[in-house]
Structure 1
Amino acid sequence: MLDARDLVHDAGFFDPLKRELIAVLRDAALGPEPRVLDAGCGTGHYTALALEALIGTNEQTPRVLAMDLSPAAVVRTVRRRPDSVDGLVADTWQPLPVRDGSVDAILDVFAPRNASEFRRILRPGGLLLVVVPRPDHLRELRADGRVLTIPEGKAATLVEELAPSFALRTVRSVDARFVLDQDAAADDAFAAAIIAMGPSAHHRATEPAAGLRALPEAITLAVDLLVFETVGNAAGSGAGV
């Protein structure tokens, strides 16, 4: 799964989303020494992106904590930028070993969310950036049942899920079409990697890349980037190191 994510990211499929994330982070007032948590860091592409966005816009070098349930994912992420990235192997659904109010922003890209813990570790006015897919996301690969159906209204559900600890600040919709190069072997590998990198890999029968039928000329990227700000007082749990 990690190798598949690397292939898709390196091909540039998520570049439009990355540009939006960079813009949001650069516009955010995160303080002189920003501290960011990448919750569900995966291969570390968004961790590196956070550093890219914040370096040069602050007085001191930002620090990013890359968290994932997979030790392999955390190791891969930290190796990208060992000078500015720390790793944490942890389950999002459990109490997080992070001090109360010690984080300026959390990235949550296609990852689980623990609203109470996220609120606890974020400082007052801290930001939570969440990316969720829309129903049109990867629609060309859904026709033959290789990709799971995405329910309507994920963004609206998310707003309800995070209230009252978080208030929605902005929503940015990212829509793009990734054009395949019509090289049969490369296109098969790319389409197979998109399927293997996400939850569809766990719910669909695995078949060779050559078995993918009639690949389209382009594949749709359709996601929402929601930016939330903390509200109210976080309940401290005493967790943290």
Structure 2
Amino acid sequence: MSVEVHQLSKTYKQLKAVDQISFTAESGKILGFLGPNGAGKSTTMKILSCFIPPSTGSARICGFDILDHPIEVRSHIGYLPEHNPLYLDLYVQESLHFIASIHQIANREQRIADVIEQVGLGSEQRKKIADLSKGYRQRVGLAQAILHNPQVLILDEPTSGLDPNQIIGIRSLIKELGKTKTIILSTHIMQEVEAVCDQIIIINKGQIVENQTIQSLKQTYKGKTLEEIFILKTNY
């Protein structure tokens, strides 16, 4: 398994943001991490990307423990946080060169050209990031996340705030990337999960309340829509 999580918890004073969750994610699959606001989705993403440490429990990315080998873990993941941090004064190409230098990527020019084409930034590559629409800024964030060709992608609310056309474009790109990579996609949008995910985890109040493939989930709750299942599992 590309991602293995065991009894992971994160506590802030009296608040248990993540409460002993365990799950796995495999290559070539998109895992949807679905939950209401404040359920623990972003906290889990931050732990897996080595942004914050867990209080207890463990996780391994591509065989590397997140606490014992954080540098190796970071080299194997691409992370797009909910609030995509970009240097707005840089040009698109310039920002990708900067990220490539951090990762010490070989054949830098070719790799940047390939990624620009892959994420559909060709027409925008010579523009300042500050001049891009939010949809294209998300594409820049995705380009930065995949530039070093990581095995695992962690995407936190990747379509938040986008218009319908931008959402369709980003979802299509995520589906294509999911054919060869392990993707963990955090969202609170039901349609997003149905559109792109193979497996779904529903998290509520820091705990996993459901973990199945989309197909098996619908078989378990026959006659119910994903929205109805979500309400059933989180409305308590």
TM-score of the pair, normalised by structure 2 = 0.34
Q: Which is bigger in relative contact order (C-alpha 8 A, separation at least 6)? A: 2
Larger helix percent: 2
